[in-house]
Amino acid sequence: MPLFSDFALNRRAFLGGSLGSLAMAHLAAAESRAAERNPLAPKPPHFPAKAKAVICLFQHGGPSQMDLFDPKPELTKQNGKPHPDKLEVHFHTQQGKLLASPFKFQKSGKSGVELSELLPHTAGIVDDITLIRSMKTDSVDHEAALRVIHSGKIFPGRPAWGSWALYGLGTERQELPAYVVLSDPGGLPVDGPNNWSSGFLPAVYQGTPFRATGTPVAHLATPADVSPAARRNQLDLLGELNAAHLRRHAGNSELEARLGHYELAAKMQTAVPEVLDLSKETDETRKLYGIDNPKSAEYGKRCLLARRLIERGVRFVQLFLSGQPWDTHSKNAENLKNLCAMTDQPSAGLVLDLKRRGLLDSTIVMWTGEFGRLPISQGTDGRDHNRHAFSMWLAGGGFKKGYVHGATDDFGYSSVEKVVRVASLHATLLQALGLDHTKLTYPHEGRDDTLTDVAVTRADVVRDLLA
């Protein structure tokens, strides 16, 4: 009997363990094959997380932290005097003296966070945001700093963090791009499409630019003289030719992505017009985003489109401004007034709208530039680049509400308390999406690379930022 009993026990262990492991391996292999057929198929996160999507409101050029988010009474007191220390200055010949902010700061919300008078609408959502005042980056040059904030390194050719998020999670909606870039009608930002490149990841993970006005995607619409039946026949034949071409060039990720985009474009012909149709939005919603105001209307429309895309299952949406408008080397105060009039209400309206629709908890809203500005003047009324300190804010997606993290020195030149480097910001953003930045890897140049490049870079999840 004992022998039989032991056998029965071992048999149960075998069936429950070994065969269970085989079944799990089979399922994992099936998922792997499905991922190979569709690299954007939904994938489970490494662990449960609140955030499922991201909207990045990127403020290109370097917003001035001491004029917007980081009040400095000592800077006001010492206005016009030389800075007591040696500073890293980008344009040395135009280096001036300490330049106080001309704008008043006031406490807002139950949290009492101080913000500039230029941001009255952001003040209205201050109890819903995490404000980081202690960011630090690696370069004072726009192109290099843009690469750092988007891809983690100053070097070109690395994937944007939105591409890493897609690689890790896939997408729930197969007839819309998983990563949408709502570009400025005025033109591209500095460094253009490199800001949303998939780098060494498969090209299917790169961003897809949408225009908010006119034709959203070039060459998407079916010609008026082509009937639906004829169009269907064209697409079926094209699909067969594409499949045959791909079989002859297996493993070409650029080709796979291109053909995948053609197939997606066919599906988008019906999905995209519906997403971009704002006619059913209420007047109250349009006013919430500032679309009734000529100064904020264009940016407000793109923020509203971002909400509509996220609402329909798009994973990652990014808004850019053309050129580098926050690069206030001259007329700093005047330019900031205009930029805040354009972006403040739409940005806050987006957070409020997501919140009331029950989408904010599952969506990370991120407002940031690539670096900050100096506390001294450039010329008479400008501010130069500063990599040692800048401010940004986050809302939703499991981040703390009404919380200020870190601090800069008395003049706002350098982050000195609870410093957050970009690599740690990226690690924290992935954490909020349920992805372990050390385990989200891709083989590249003989090693498993990561967004945070943990083999050579120190990156820590900033737990204090998460609720």
Q: Where are the domains of the chain?
A: 1-37, 43-223+272-465
Among 206-210, 240-244, 389-393, which is the least confidently predicted range?
Answer: 240-244
Tokens linked to 221 = 């619409």
Average pLDDT over residues 233-239: 68
Tell me, what's the pLDDT at 235? Answer: 63
Average pLDDT over residues 398-403: 98
Q: How confident is the model at residue 275 (pLDDT cuts 50, 70, 90)?
A: confident
Portion of the chain with pLDDT greater than 70, in percent: 82
Average pLDDT over residues 243-254: 68
**Residue-wise over 311-328: b if at least 16 C-beta within 10 A, else e?**
eebbbbbbbbbeebbbbb
Rounded distance between C-alpha atoms, residue 3 and residue 10, angstroms: 10
Average pLDDT over residues 243-269: 63
- Rounded to the nearest 5°, which phi and psi values hold at 98? -55, 135
Q: Does residue 222 or residue 459 have the better pLDDT?
A: 459
Tell me, what's the pLDDT at 262? Answer: 56
Tell me, what's the pLDDT at 219? Answer: 55
Tell me, what's the pLDDT at 205? Answer: 96
Q: How confident is the model at residue 6 (pLDDT cuts 50, 70, 90)?
A: very low
Q: Is 270 a residue whose pLDDT tops 70?
A: no
Query: Which pTM was predicted?
Result: 0.85
Average pLDDT over residues 63-84: 98
Q: Is 266 a residue whose pLDDT tops 60?
A: no
Q: Does residue 21 or residue 204 have the better pLDDT?
A: 204
Give the gyration radius of the chain's Cα atoms.
Answer: 25
Is the torsion defined by CA of 308, 311, 313, 316 positive or negative?
positive
Q: Is 13 a residue whose pLDDT tops 50?
A: no
Q: Is 242 a residue whose pLDDT tops 80?
A: no
Portion of the chain with pLDDT greater than 90, in percent: 74
Tell me how many helices (H) and strands (E) the chain has: 13, 19
Q: What is the CATH number of domain 43-223+272-465?
A: 3.40.720
Q: How confident is the model at residue 95 (pLDDT cuts 50, 70, 90)?
A: very high
Q: Is 253 a residue whose pLDDT tops 90?
A: no
Tokens linked to 5 = 């009993």
Q: Is 14 a residue whose pLDDT tops 80?
A: no
Tell me, what's the pLDDT at 284? Answer: 98
Which residues pair with residue 95 across a beta bridge?
378
Q: Average pLDDT of the chain? A: 88
Tell me, what's the pLDDT at 90? Answer: 86
DSSP string of 44-111, one letter each residue: --SS--S--EEEEEE-TT---HHHHT---HHHHHTTTSPPSS----SSGGGEEEE---SS-EEEETTT
Tell me, what's the pLDDT at 217? Answer: 64
Q: Is 12 a residue whose pLDDT tops 90?
A: no
Average pLDDT over residues 385-407: 98
Q: Are 243 and 236 in contact, with CB atoms under 8 Å apart?
A: no
Q: What is the pLDDT of residues 139-192, one digit of tens each?
A: 999 999 999 999 999 999 999 999 999 999 999 888 899 999 999 999 999 999
Tell me, what's the pLDDT at 4? Answer: 41
Rounded distance between C-alpha atoms, residue 53 and residue 93, angstroms: 45
CA 217 to chain centre: 21
Tell me, what's the pLDDT at 70? Answer: 98
Tell me, what's the pLDDT at 31? Answer: 45
Tell me, what's the pLDDT at 20? Answer: 42
Helix axes 228-248, 253-276, angle to 10 degrees: 160
Q: Are 103 and 333 in contact, with CB atoms under 8 Å apart?
A: yes
Which has the closest alpha carbon to 396: 310, 287, 295? 310
Tell me, what's the pLDDT at 354? Answer: 98
Q: Is 1 a residue whose pLDDT tops 70?
A: no
- Rounded to the nearest 5°, which phi and psi values hold at 394? -130, 150
Tell me, what's the pLDDT at 33? Answer: 45
Q: Is 93 a residue whose pLDDT tops 50?
A: yes
Sort strands 95-98 and 442-444 into parallel, antiparallel or unpaired: unpaired
